[in-house]
């Protein structure tokens, strides 16, 4: 068993109707991944996959709300003016989302009715390196890895809908 856990507790999830997936120690910016997760939380699975593919194709921008210094304004954003196209982070989150979809298919859930109820990204361990400088000195270089967590829930059928 892994030594890590999810930041969403088991009491909040119904085991028959929810699936989880995570990507650990991924080499993407935790700041970009956080903004993408904030944007896709609450979306339906199909809608989120379409959105991430548009971000990768640089057709839609991700609104940056916290990490927005020196970020240019982008058209088509709601509730934010600053935006970017974090392609590398979007690819990794899409990969984790497809893993969650595969978990849902294995459990026998309807993938058309899956909604993202939890999406989080936070910094993982730091990789420390040294870069040589003049006069025999060196400077440290840090690379922060990222953990990405996703939880999806099957939305119940509304009255009047057929399976």
- pLDDT of 134-153, one tens digit each? 999 999 999 999 999 999 99
pLDDT at 9: 85
Distance CA 150, CA 18 (A): 10
Overall fold of domain 17-154? Ribosomal Protein L22; Chain A (3.90.470)
Mean pLDDT over residues 151-162, rounded?
Answer: 80
| pLDDT reading at 160 higher than 80 | no
Cα radius of gyration (the chain): 18
Distance CA 64, CA 77 (A): 10
pLDDT tens digits, residue range 103-132? 999 999 999 999 999 999 999 999 999 999
Instruction: Give the residue extent of every domain in the chain.
Output: 17-154
Question: What is the CA angle 146-149-152, rounded to 5?
Answer: 160
């Amino acid at each position: 068993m892994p030594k890590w856990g999810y930041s969403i507790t088991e009491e909040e999830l119904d085991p028959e109707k929810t699936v989880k997936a995570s990507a650990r120690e991924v080499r993407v910016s935790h700041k970009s991944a956080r903004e993408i997760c904030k944007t896709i939380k609450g979306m339906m699975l199909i809608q989120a996959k379409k959105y991430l593919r548009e971000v990768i194709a640089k057709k839609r921008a991700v609104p940056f709300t916290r990490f927005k210094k020196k970020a240019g304004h982008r058209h088509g954003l709601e509730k934010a003016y600053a935006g970017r196209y974090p392609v590398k982070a979007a690819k990794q989150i899409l990969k984790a989302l497809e893993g969650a979809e595969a978990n849902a298919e294995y459990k026998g859930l309807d993938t058309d009715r899956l909604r993202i109820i939890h999406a989080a990204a936070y910094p993982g361990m730091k990789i420390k390196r040294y870069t040589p400088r003049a006069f025999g000195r060196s400077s440290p270089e840090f690379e922060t890895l990222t953990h990405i967590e996703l939880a999806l829930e099957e939305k119940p059928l509304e009255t009047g809908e057929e399976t």
